[in-house]
Chain A
Amino acid sequence: MTLVNKVLLKISTAFVSIIGSSILVFSIIYLLPGDPVLSMIDPSVATPEMVANLRKELGLDQPFYIQFSEYFMNVLQGDFGQSVVNSEPVLPKIVEHFPATLALTITSAVLSVVIGVTFGVLSAIYRNKWIDIIARIIGLFGISMPTFWSGILLILIFSVYLNWLPSIGSDGWKTLVLPSLSLGFVGAGFIIRMVRNSMLDVINEQFIVTLRAKGLSERVVMYRHALRNALIPAITIIGLNIGELLAGTVVIETVFSRQGIGRIVADAIMAKDLPVIQGVVFFSAIVYVVINLLVDLSYSFIDPRVRRAH
């Protein structure tokens, strides 16, 4: 199979996943118990007639297949519907808030890679030395501390006591530091473990011994050869990690009062604002699928074995 064919196949699989996820999301929300109309008006003051009118207005009295086919036809034309809470169109809302989430996700990903790879490599090279112990502690904390907890801790230290960085908002780089640190630590924890383990595996492999025997400097052996091989599993983790990061923004955006699609979906769930929930989940599914596609394709460039297998 040629590279082009492979890429085309991956893209079409991605497309199928996106359609599948849209059907899934719509069905789950449809089947959820509860009446969105009753959550929109205070049931203790509403009259039966008000409830009935609103239900009709929103098309919620229609059967499932009509609701779904109407929704899907509209989505194909770029219309994700309107928020039932304030009648705002959904797509522009997502487009407006996505950059903030993207900025947070990218910064966190970069931080987690930088922290994760650095400490992962160092702890493998200096195995059982003090730097290894520190790296493993960071890894343990990153994995086991929930983000809302580390977020609040960071706010207490850097915002309330030291007064160095803002605790809320989403304008400017300063507001990005604390949230992306707290989110990035989670990813860093996994990457440290992954890189450390695969580095240790690689270091003991025959080809490293050969390279050393050929008289290459330790630096070249470690960073050009060992690290490159150890990075393959790490990249898979980073790819999956971006999905985790996207999900993590829901919590972090709330803790740090940032704008973003995570906040939107959290608010929409509370308000049972179905068009918004559907829109954001659908949109996130697209982003997730695209990122995984890119990660898949990137193997080819990092690992010659994958490239040759084409």
Chain B
Amino acid sequence: MALLLLLSGCANSASTKNSSAETNEKADAQPKQGGELTYALATSPDSLDPHRSGLAVAGRVFRTIFDNLVIQAEDGTIQPWLATEWTVSEDGKSYIFQLREDVKFHDGTPFNAEAVKFSFDRIIDPKTKSGNALSLLRPYVSSEVLEEYTIKINLATPSAAFLSNISQNQLGIVSPTAVEKYGDQFGKNPVGTGPFKFVNWTENADIQVEKNSDYNWGPSNVENKGKPYLDKISFKIVPEEATRIGSVQSGQVLAAETVPPQNIATLKNDPKTQLLTVNTIGLPYTLFFNQRKEPWNNVKARQAVQLAIDVDSIVKTLYLGTYERSWSPLTPGIVGYDKSLEGSVKVDIDKANKILDELGYEKGSDGIRVKDGKQLTLNYVDGSPNREKRNDIAVIVQQQLKRIGIKVEINITKDVASVIYTNADYDLYGNSQVNSDPNALRAIYHTRTPEEEAVFKGLPGGSDTELDQLLEQGTSELDQAKREEIYKKAQQKIIKDAWIIPIYVFPYTVAASKTVNGITFDALGYPLFNDVSIE
């Protein structure tokens, strides 16, 4: 017997209040039609093919051009979009989706089960060279078109993350005719069913999309389910921070993403601009120990570092109160986030010193600890450029660990791929990941197979049978409450055994002119433009 999960119509309009944005004063007034929104992006998308690009910046554009089968609301529930309802088989290995019958692609191609099958089969086709989309779609095996608007999707193993994953912008449904027409160049000529149609992409200048007047199938996380109010959006590519903020202040663009912390205060006081902030979800910015190395394979050594790093003061000093400190391997807002971890780790220098004493490290004349003639050093690797002041975190950690006699050597490199993932030549390394499901933990914290290690060394290289079991159960547990419990246990275990030092939750910030109303964000923190109007 099939388990009926969700029916259409249970739209939850409250879910759009995701952002801590200043509320628009004229929310009640009828939004004004027309106009062009200019929106400055911090980097350039590599491709507008959702199945081939894994860049967050491309994701911000995908939400205008492509729709998904389902959408994830802020509370983590999965709600209808291009699929009106769905059922899951008892073994959790097949899904049957009923699709909307009134949808067509921008090029006139009808949207149906064939198009969904085409999109998903395209992702698993090695010729597509799909990266992130492929890992999100797994364990997908195949699709069967049951009727024109009914599709059955088969998975290799049950996956509790599947619905959440297919709501992510990289699994947007693409037009089969357009893919056949443009082939390899689909990423420069994207065609979907979204609220905006792709018009033009001038490399390093702008990406233009225009209103899809036929649009009538907006998801539950936007108010305006019909055609957008805006005529056009022009995404300008402005990599230089100061220029980007300057362009909003001078009025050359109406909105700009990724505001640096030092500009946030100024912009808040600027009568002409408003500031929108939303915390992204997934894995926070986290420092990972390399457990392949001595002494970091020893939980005691890791705990000493955990007790000596004052994360609060790092986050306050560098981000001036604009970033939230993180406590868990997951960010708040994700399914199963364990709030009880907040405040659980306290700085304790004496205890940290005592642990290192017990481990046999004695302070030398220069204050650095020595054991068997070797200094206790920690090779801290971080990427370049200094994204979100991550390199500055390294410098503060260096100062803080000096207090307990650990010498930190900072290595800032552009070539993280070979230093970290090929050679694993680090003791501590920082990274973050945007993701919609706690299953993201599995890729990082599950014991790696020798085959995986042979190709690249994952983070953080530890192994724990109990944690492995939790992460496996989490993947296949379909009962939401039980699943949350499993992930809470996993988070507690990771923090208790000091696998990592979580640092901050990355907020996506947008500075916009006060004349712009209605920019909202999806569950992952990607902007939505369905409700945007310009006064």
Chain A residues near B (Cβ < 8 Å) = 32-35, 38-48, 50-54, 57, 85-88, 93, 96-97, 148, 151-152, 155-156, 159-160, 163, 166-171, 253-260, 263-264, 267, 271-272
Which single residue of chain A is at the shortest CB-CB distance from B184?
A87
Chain A: minimal CB distance from B329 (Å):
13
A residues less than 8 Å from B240 (CB atoms): 148, 152, 254-257
CB-CB under 8 A for A43 and B421, given A159-B246, A159-B250, A267-B204 = yes
Contact of A48 among B204, B422, B455 (CB under 8 A): B455
- Mask: chain B, 401-430; 1 = CB below 8 Å from A; 0 = not: 000000000000001011011100000000
Contact of A93 among B54, B126, B203, B237 (CB under 8 A): B203
B residues less than 8 Å from A38 (CB atoms): 417-418, 421-422, 456
B residues less than 8 Å from A169 (CB atoms): 205, 236
B418 A167 Cβ-Cβ under 8 A: no
B residues less than 8 Å from A33 (CB atoms): 415, 418
B205 A167 Cβ-Cβ under 8 A: no
Q: Total number of A-B contacts with CB less than 8 angstroms?
A: 142
Chain B: minimal CB distance from A144 (Å):
20
Bound CA span A50–B239, Å: 31
Query: Any chain A CB within 8 A of the CB of B187?
Result: yes
Query: Any chain A CB within 8 A of the CB of B134?
Result: yes
Can you give 12 contacting A-B residue pairs, CB < 8 Å?
A42-B135, A44-B433, A46-B131, A47-B135, A52-B455, A57-B129, A88-B188, A155-B242, A163-B251, A167-B246, A168-B247, A255-B240
Which single residue of chain B is at the shortest CB-CB distance from A56?
B126
Query: Any chain A CB within 8 A of the CB of B394?
Result: no
A residues less than 8 Å from B40 (CB atoms): 168
Query: Any chain A CB within 8 A of the CB of B451?
Result: yes
B residues less than 8 Å from A88 (CB atoms): 185, 188
Query: Any chain A CB within 8 A of the CB of B238?
Result: yes
CB-CB under 8 A for A41 and B131, given A155-B242, A259-B204, A259-B205 = yes
Interface centre among A34, A43, A48 (most CB of B within 10 A): A43
Interface centre among B251, B415, B458 (most CB of A within 10 A): B415
Which single residue of chain B is at the shortest CB-CB distance from A149?
B242
Bound CA span A47–B137, Å: 13
CB-CB under 8 A for A34 and B417, given A45-B132, A267-B44 = yes
B residues less than 8 Å from A263 (CB atoms): 204
- Mask: chain B, 61-87; 1 = CB below 8 Å from A; 0 = not: 000000000000000000000000000
The number of chain B residues with a CB under 8 A from chain A is 53
Contact of A163 among B250, B431, B443 (CB under 8 A): B250
CB-CB under 8 A for A257 and B204, given A48-B451, A163-B250, A168-B247 = yes
Query: Any chain A CB within 8 A of the CB of B3?
Result: no
B residues less than 8 Å from A160 (CB atoms): 246, 249-250
A residues less than 8 Å from B202 (CB atoms): 259
B residues less than 8 Å from A54 (CB atoms): 129
CB-CB under 8 A for A51 and B250, given A44-B433, A267-B204 = no
* B residues 446-486 touching A (CB-CB < 8 Å): 451-452, 454-456, 458-459
A44 B444 Cβ-Cβ under 8 A: yes
Query: Any chain A CB within 8 A of the CB of B510?
Result: no
B422 A50 Cβ-Cβ under 8 A: no
Chain A: minimal CB distance from B297 (Å):
20
Which single residue of chain A is at the shortest CB-CB distance from B417?
A38
Chain A: minimal CB distance from B511 (Å):
13
A residues less than 8 Å from B185 (CB atoms): 87-88
B residues less than 8 Å from A167 (CB atoms): 243, 246-247, 250, 252
A residues less than 8 Å from B129 (CB atoms): 54, 57
Which single residue of chain B is at the shortest CB-CB distance from A38?
B417
B134 A50 Cβ-Cβ under 8 A: yes
A256 B204 Cβ-Cβ under 8 A: no
- Mask: chain B, 164-207; 1 = CB below 8 Å from A; 0 = not: 00000000000000000000110110000000000000111100
